[in-house]
Amino acid sequence: MNIGSSSSGNSIRDRVRPADAGELDNIPWLRALAGPERRRAEAALVVGEAEPGDLVCRIGRAPTYWFGVIEGLLKMSNDNADGTSMTYSGLPPGGWFGEGTALKREPYRYNIQALRRSLVAGLPVDDFHWLLDHSIGFNRFVMNQLNERLAQFIAAREADRLNNPDVRVARNLAALFNPVLFPGVGELLRITQQELAYLIGLSRQRVNQALRTLEAQGALRVEYGGLRVLDMAALRGGGGAGPR
């Protein structure tokens, strides 16, 4: 993989291997492909292990793969020269990302970094374009991805302008439970409060307070190692709390 550096000093590409049958079963768009298309994609797909802090994609690098998360948690962000950072999205299991960059074959305008040990899949960009040229099912999947991601970023922009941290936490969680973008999450998101704080831009203590409020409202349940959604409509609505 032509990807970013590893916090351990070794390139992630050194840990790349072909995807096995179980990992292929966790790639949602393969089910949209016809027989010959699927066989080509499965032969081209590789997976690699990213350690916490590893960069899967780096600003300014040209894309060589279209990426997806099999296990773990990544974040999409832009790190500014003054040391500040803006996080665009968390990327939990089932999420595939960077299709716009792969379509245009332009350098990345964001970093993708592992927040925890993660298993990342990659489809070579040439095979990505071949599927676009030959598969109606694949085109529909990519089109749905782009449409859903646009709606997600608009919602994230609105949430960032809110002064109510409880609403920000609720809406950011709703985005991570998105069944179209992140079908591998289901009803239980495996995430720590510190990881959630990184993604939202709040302190861990404030995130903890918001989660307790949302739990009391019946929107979610805090479980060991993760969060279980109980009322998705409530999360999307901000947990029933209005701006203040």
pLDDT at residue 164, rounded to an integer: 85
Which residues have C-beta within 8 Å of that of residue 14, sequence separation ≥ 6?
none
Q: Rounded to whole angstroms, how far apart are CA atoms 105 and 100?
A: 8
155: three-class secondary structure by DSSP: helix
Residue found by looking up tokens 């995807």 in the block: 19
Are 222 and 211 in contact by the 8 Å Cβ rule? The answer is yes
Alpha helices in the chain (DSSP H): 21-25, 35-44, 99-104, 125-134, 136-160, 165-176, 193-200, 204-216, 232-236
Amino acid at 7: S
Domain map (residue ranges) of the chain: 12-149, 163-236
In this prediction the pTM is: 0.86
Which phi and psi (to 5°) does residue 69 adopt? Answer: -100, 120
| pLDDT tens per residue across span 108-147 | 999 999 999 999 999 999 999 999 999 999 999 999 999 9
Exposure of 145 in the CB half-sphere (CA atoms within 13 A): 21
| pLDDT tens per residue across span 3-59 | 555 544 455 667 799 999 999 999 999 999 999 999 999 999 999 999 999 999 999
For domain 163-236, give the fold: Arc Repressor Mutant, subunit A (1.10.10)
Checking if the pLDDT of 162 tops 60, the result is yes
The CATH number of domain 12-149, selected from 3.20.20.140, 1.10.260.40, 3.40.109.10, 2.60.120.10: 2.60.120.10
Q: Long-range contacts of range 153-160, CB-CB < 8 Å, 24 or more positions apart?
A: 153/88, 153/89, 156/88, 156/89, 160/201
